[in-house]
Copies of this chain bind each other. A is one copy, B any other.
Amino acid sequence: MARQAVADKRQRRQRGSISVDEIINGAFEVANEASVDGLSMPLLAKHLDVGVTSIYWYFRKKDDLLNAMTDRALGQYDFATPFVEGQDWQESLRNHARKMRQTFRSNPILCDLILIRGTFGREATQAAFQKLEKAVATLVEAGLSPEDAFDTYASISVHTQGAAVLERLQDRSGGAEPYRRSGTSVIDPETMPLIADLTEKGHRIGIADDINFEYGLNCILEHASRLIAARGEAG
């Protein structure tokens, strides 16, 4: 009697029927459905209709696969966020920062791979340097010293990344579990008159949101424009 139980076993794949690109593509597909954390080798293998161990011929460790994904993600990110010069340096920088944030927001996987998993150890992309050079040039032309220009761009960059990361982490855990303390949260108007009023108006504490992002961005840009003004007076 033939065993039907074996019927659903996958057929053996041909030699060369798996490619690095195919694996990475599949990995992004799985990550899109299950998030980067949910991406596992068995899950990916099932998605690709491949033996789990076959993946290990192309990527010796899962970490190698994630590195390859991160490289591709960085490419996407760089492509999506060029630095566009304009007549108004403030608006150029502002739009640039907004675009960066928006890219991370609309694509959490980029955020997880690039920011949270951390490209920090490795060198910055060539594309990142080009953006930096362009932005610094714009600021220098506007009247900043190269050093101040660099610090300004670095500050915008970190501000944007920080906002993106915090927001992503909020989403991650916020979606999972509301978890409210019973009553403890109530603000006593007697002892805390100021914030009792403000929180009723909808203000939120310690939350990275649009308002907060724009506010910080404004502060940085304003600081830069003051530096320019001060230089103009001195020169």
> How far is B180's CA from A124's CA once the two chains are assembled, in angstroms?
10
Asked if B117 and A154 sit within 8 Å, CB to CB, the answer is no
Cross-chain contact B155 with A219 (CB below 8 angstroms): yes
Q: For the complex, what is the distance from the CA of A79 to the CA of B180, rounded to whole Å?
A: 22
* A53 / chain B contacts, CB cutoff of 8 Å: none
Q: Are A117 and B165 within 8 A (Cβ)?
A: no
A:173-224 near B, CB below 8 Å: 173-174, 176-181, 184-185, 187, 191-195, 197-198, 203-208, 211-212, 215-216, 218-220, 222-223
**Identical subunits present:** 2
Q: Which residues of B contact A151 (CB under 8 A)?
A: 211-212, 215
Docked pose: A170 CA to B136 CA in angstroms: 24
Taken residue by residue from 84 to 117, chain A's Cβ proximity to chain B (1 for < 8 Å, 0 otherwise) reads as 0000000000000000000000000000000111
* Cβ contact of A165, chosen from B128, B169, B206, cutoff 8 A: B169
The answer to whether B162 and A159 touch across the interface, beta carbons within 8 angstroms, is yes
Greatest chain B CB density within 10 A among A117, A191, A206 is at A206
Chain B residues positioned under 8 Å from A197 (CB to CB) = 146
User: How far does the alpha carbon of A60 sit from the alpha carbon of B17 in the complex, in Å?
Assistant: 45
- Contact of A177 with B137 at beta-carbon distance under 8 Å, contacts A169-B116, A206-B161 already known: no
Q: In the bound complex, do residue A166 and residue B155 qualify as a contact, i.e. CB atoms below 8 Å apart?
A: no
Q: Mark A220-234, 1 if CB is under 8 A from B, else 0.
A: 101100100000000
User: A118-B169, A121-B174, A154-B206 in contact; A198/B162 too (CB < 8 A)?
Assistant: no
Supply 18 A–B pairs (Cβ within 8 Å), ascending by A.
A117-B173, A120-B173, A121-B176, A122-B179, A123-B184, A124-B205, A132-B192, A133-B192, A133-B193, A151-B215, A154-B204, A154-B206, A154-B207, A155-B215, A161-B208, A162-B163, A218-B223, A222-B226
Which A residues form the contact surface with B (CB < 8 A)?
A: 67, 115-124, 126, 128-130, 132-133, 136-137, 140, 146-147, 149-151, 154-155, 157-159, 161-163, 165-166, 169-170, 172-174, 176-181, 184-185, 187, 191-195, 197-198, 203-208, 211-212, 215-216, 218-220, 222-223, 226
